[in-house]
Chains A and B, each alone.
Chain A
Amino acid sequence: MLDALQYEFMRNALIAGVLAAVACGIIGTYVVVKKMVSVSGAISHSSFGGIGLGYFVGINPVLGALFFTIASALGMGLVIKRTRLPEDTAIGILWAMGMAIGIIFIGLTPGYAPDLFSYLFGNILAVPFSDLILMLALDAVIVIIVIALYKELLTVSFDEEFGTVTGVPVEALYLLLLCMIALTVVVLIRVVGIILVIALLTIPAALARQFTHDIKKMIPLSIIFGALFSFGGLWLSYELDLASGATIILLSGTVLLVTLGLSRLRSRARIHETPPNSAG
């Protein structure tokens, strides 16, 4: 693996892994604690519409995804907050509509859509330098917003109604959170692809949640886990010649499941150690 670092694509892959870990560590934490996994799934899949748009207009598909995903995140937020449609119904509809738009655009684009597969399933080994710059910029935007609005985002995540009562602009912050999920999705597309984004958005944060009860600690911990998973998955895929995105996801998922299993065994062992008369 170390000798592989002499290749530019390998160095780019490692940088992409870190940049992805930062975005998914921060936003993934909010997605997990506020239970926004399905809306995040819808946002990530709708980004396919942007990829298709990018092909059709002839710009970088990731750039197309950036604008399209933010627009669909805002649209989704407004439908969820302002219409009577149940939230999961709205999510299901917009999820499929985004993908449908992508398919239409790709169909309209003359010729063959190159590396379409890598947008769907990710290819961390093929991240161009220009996309690294875009990822870095999006990370910076996310970090600045979360630092500036930490207490507001905490209130909105914990208790929207109480937030409204104390004067927090709840709806605006919810939409902002959805937009940041959209930015994170765009950062992650190159690494794990549209279909797999949701796993990298949730697994590092869910794992971090096992070790801490404090959001301020959960965020850096998820970033570290995300980076470790990207590196580990990248190394495994290099050694075993497997698809990088899928390897990263399977590695993360396996670690999470093993951790959950271990903590279950540990708590069961604790119950057995405790004499029955001292309980309660």
Chain B
Amino acid sequence: MADKEVVRLEDVWVQYNGVPILEGINLAIEQDDFLGIIGPNGGGKTTLLKIILGLISPSRGKVSVLGKPPEKSRSKIGYVPQHNLFDRDFPISVGDVVLMGRYGKSGLFRRYSSEDRRATQDALQTVGMLDYKERQMGKLSGGELQRIFIARALVAEPKLLLLDEPTASVDPAMQTEFYELLEKLKKRMAIVLVSHDISAVSIYVDKLACLNRQLHYHGSKEITPEILEATYKCPVQMIAHGLVPHRVLKEH
């Protein structure tokens, strides 16, 4: 069983300026998991992803990805950040952005190979954006950008895909398509999706956890009424032990 494990977090704590962001997180993700993590904004969701990526080191606790420290396993992780942070004026084409994801396979001073370019084609094909290869990044819509960032994460053939608020700037019509894409991908890799959008997430993911500094892991393989109930109960719990105002409840 242990060799199927992709991520293991043991009693992970993170503090920033003395303020706790994550408290005593225990989490195990297996290779065929599709895990959704929901929670209010400011609940530590992005921090948790950055812990798994090794971009932040925990103040306490142990993190391992594919049996190694996260920095050593990064080439096996595909990461899709909250994309509203990127500069839309940056002069770069879709194909070049996706190609960037191949860096781990090529390395310093080396040019991208024809294999890297083939992988770029495949990744764009997977997300249905091959026709946009020469297009400017700044000219894409929110949903299209999302697909490109997923292609960039997929191009290195990761064992684990981390998605941070992937539907935040995708219009509802595109969201269904987006989750269908993840449905296809989950056969090839473990997926962790972080979102404050509780309704959509709970339909598509196989396992569900709630995060507001502490992690409440529901760990079920199927979406049963109990899980849905647990999901809805969760925000209530969050109010009980969190001071952070959040939108989860308002959307119901």
Are the chains A and B members of one assembly?
Answer: yes
Q: Could you say which residues of chain B place their CB within 8 Å of the CB of A163? A: 100, 103
Cβ-based interface call for A35 (8 A): yes
Question: Chain A residues with Cβ under 8 A from B103's Cβ?
Answer: 151-152, 155, 163, 166-168
Task: Select A151's contact among B77, B81, B112, beta carbons within 8 Å.
Answer: B112
Known: A151-B111, A158-B100, A159-B100. A165 touches B91 (CB 8 A): no
Q: Please state if A162 and B100 are interface contacts (CB–CB under 8 Å).
A: yes
* Cβ-based interface call for B152 (8 A): yes
Contact A152 B108 (CB under 8 A): yes
Say which one of A55-63, A104-112, A194-202, A212-220 lies at the interface with B.
A212-220
| A149 at the binding interface (Cβ < 8 Å) | yes
Chain A interface extent, by class: 20 to 34
Q: Name B156's contact: one of A151, A152, A161, A166 (CB within 8 Å).
A: A166
- In the bound assembly, the distance between CA atoms of A162 and B108 in angstroms comes to 15
**Are the C-beta atoms of A167 and B104 separated by less than 8 Å?**
yes
Task: Say yes or no: B55 contacts A162, CB within 8 Å.
Answer: no
The docked-state distance in angstroms from the alpha carbon of A161 to that of B152 is: 13
- In the complex, are the beta carbons of A148 and B96 less than 8 A apart? no
A35, A157, A165, A212: which contacts B79 (Cβ < 8 A)? A165
Q: Is A33 interfacial (CB-CB < 8 Å)?
A: yes
Interface status of A92 (Cβ within 8 A of chain B): no
> Is the C-beta of A169 less than 8 angstroms from some C-beta in chain B?
yes
Contact status A166-B90, CB under 8 Å: no
Q: Specify the main secondary structure of chain A where it touches its partner.
A: helix
Contacts of B123 in A (CB 8 A): none
Cβ B55 vs Cβ A212 within 8 A: no
Bound Cα distance A164, B100 (Å): 12
A45 at the interface (CB under 8 A from B): no
For residue A172, which residue of chain B has the nearest CB? B108
Of the residues B75, B91, B101, contact of A214 by C-beta under 8 Å: B91
Binary interface profile of A, 3-37, with partner B (CB < 8 Å = 1, else 0)?
00000000000000000000000000000010100
Check if A33 sits within 8 Å of B91, measured CB to CB.
yes
Q: In angstroms, how far is the closest chain A Cβ from the Cβ of B7?
A: 15
Residues of A within 8 A of B53 (CB): 165
State whether the Cβ of A154 lies closer than 8 Å to any Cβ in chain B.
Answer: yes
Interface-central residue, B87, B90, B106, B136, by most chain A CB under 10 Å: B90
Write the chain B residue with the least CB distance to A218.
B91
Task: List A contacts of B87 (CB < 8 A).
Answer: 35, 158
Supposing A148-B109, A149-B109, A169-B108 touch, asked if A164 and B90 sit within 8 A by C-beta, the answer is no
B239 part of interface (Cβ distance < 8 Å):
no
| CA gap between A166 and B75 in the complex, in Å | 6
With contacts A151-B103, A152-B108, A213-B136 taken as known, whether A158 is within 8 angstroms of B55 at the C-beta atoms is no
Within 8 A of B (CB), among A75-124: none
B residues less than 8 Å from A166 (CB atoms): 74-75, 100-101, 103-104, 156
Establish whether residues B93 and A214, one from each chain, have CB atoms under 8 Å apart when the complex forms: yes
Partner of B91, one of A155, A162, A215: A215
Which residues 235-258 of A sit at the B interface, judged by CB distance below 8 A? none
> Is A190's beta carbon under 8 Å from chain B?
no
Contact yes or no, A165 B77, CB < 8 A: yes
Provided the pairs A167-B74, A167-B75, A212-B91 are in contact, do residues A161 and B96 lie with their beta carbons within 8 angstroms?
Answer: no
Cα distance, A178 to B77, chains bound together (Å): 30
Which chain A positions have C-beta within 8 A of B79?
A: 162, 165
Q: How far is the CA of A212 from the CA of B89 in the complex (A)?
A: 12
**B residues near A, CB below 8 A?**
53, 55, 74-75, 77, 79, 81, 86-87, 90-93, 96-97, 99-101, 103-104, 106-109, 111-112, 136, 138, 152, 156
Sample of 24 A–B contacts (CB below 8 Å): A149-B108, A151-B106, A152-B108, A154-B92, A154-B96, A155-B100, A155-B103, A158-B86, A158-B97, A158-B100, A159-B81, A159-B86, A161-B55, A162-B152, A163-B103, A164-B55, A165-B79, A166-B101, A166-B103, A167-B74, A167-B75, A214-B93, A215-B91, A218-B91
